[in-house]
Structure 1
Amino acid sequence: MRRVKADTPAPTRRPPKRRWLRPVLLSSAALAVLGATGAGLWWLDRSGIVQRAQSEIKSAFVAATSELGLVVDDITVEGRNRQDADQILAALGLRRGDAILLADLDLTRARLEALAWVREATIERHLPGRLHIRLVEREPIALWQRAGRFMLIDRGGTEIGPDLTGEFASLPVVVGPDAPQHASALFAALAAEPALAARVKAAVRVGGRRWNVKLDDIAGGIDIRLPEAQTSAAWTRLARLERDYQLLEKKLLMIDLRLPDRLVVGTPEDPAATQAPGKKSKPNDKDA
Structure 2
Amino acid sequence: MQPVSPPPRDPAPSRLRYRMQRWMLTPGIRLGLRIGVPVTLILAAVTGYLADSERRQGLLLTVSDIRASIEERPEFMVNLMAIDGAGSNLSDAIRQAVPLEFPISSFDLDLAQIRARIAELAPVKSVGLRVRPGGILQVDVTERVPVVVWRTRTGLELLDETGAHIQDIPRRSVRGDLPLIAGEGAEHRVAEALALIEAAEPLGDRLRGLVRVGERRWDVVLDRDQRILLPGADPVSALERVIALGQAQDMLERDVAVVDMRLMARPTLRMTSDAVQDWWRIREINASGQ
| Structure 2: gaps spanning 5 or more residues | 1-46, 48-55, 277-290
Q: CA deviation at 1:214?
A: 0.6
Q: CA deviation at 1:226?
A: 0.5
Q: What is the number of equivalent residue pairs in this alignment?
A: 229
**Contact persistence 1:204–1:213 (CA under 8 A):** yes
Give me the whole-angstrom Cα distance separating, in 1, the residues matched to 2:130 and 2:273.
66
Which residues in structure 2 correspond to 1:163-202 (within 5 Å)? 163-164=169-170, 166-196=173-203, 199-202=206-209
* Alignment of 1:267 onto 2:271: yes
Which residues in structure 2 correspond to 1:92-241 (within 5 Å)? 92-164=98-170, 166-196=173-203, 199-216=206-223, 220-241=224-245
TM-score by length of 2: 0.66
Give me the whole-angstrom Cα distance separating, in 1, the residues matched to 2:177 and 2:189.
20
Q: Helix, strand or coil: the match of 2:78?
A: coil
- Of Structure 1 and Structure 2, the greater helix share is in 2
Give me the whole-angstrom Cα distance separating, in 2, the residues matched to 1:136 and 1:199.
34
**Contact persistence 2:184–2:213 (CA under 8 A):** no
Give me the whole-angstrom Cα distance separating, in 2, the residues matched to 1:268 and 1:131.
63
* Alignment of 1:252 onto 2:259: no
Q: Which shifted more, 84-93 or 120-129?
A: 84-93
Identity %: 25
Q: Helix, strand or coil: the match of 1:244?
A: helix
Deviations 1:114-173 (A, max 9, x none): 112111111122124012111111122222222241122222222222125853134333
Q: Which amino acid aligns with 2:144?
A: R
Give me the whole-angstrom Cα distance separating, in 2, the residues matched to 1:61 and 1:199.
70
* Alignment of 1:75 onto 2:81: yes
Larger Rg: 2
Q: Which shifted more, 252-261 or 242-251?
A: 242-251
Q: Which shifted more, 61-70 or 222-231?
A: 61-70
Give me the whole-angstrom Cα distance separating, in 1, the residues matched to 2:235 and 2:164.
23
Give me the whole-angstrom Cα distance separating, in 2, the residues matched to 1:113 and 1:155.
18
Q: Which amino acid aligns with 2:157?
A: M
Q: CA deviation at 1:111?
A: 0.8
Q: CA deviation at 1:84?
A: 3.4
Which of 63, 67, 88 in structure 1 is aligned with 2:94? 88
| Structure 1: gaps spanning 5 or more residues | 1-39, 41-48, 273-288
Q: CA deviation at 1:99?
A: 0.8
Q: CA deviation at 1:256?
A: 1.0
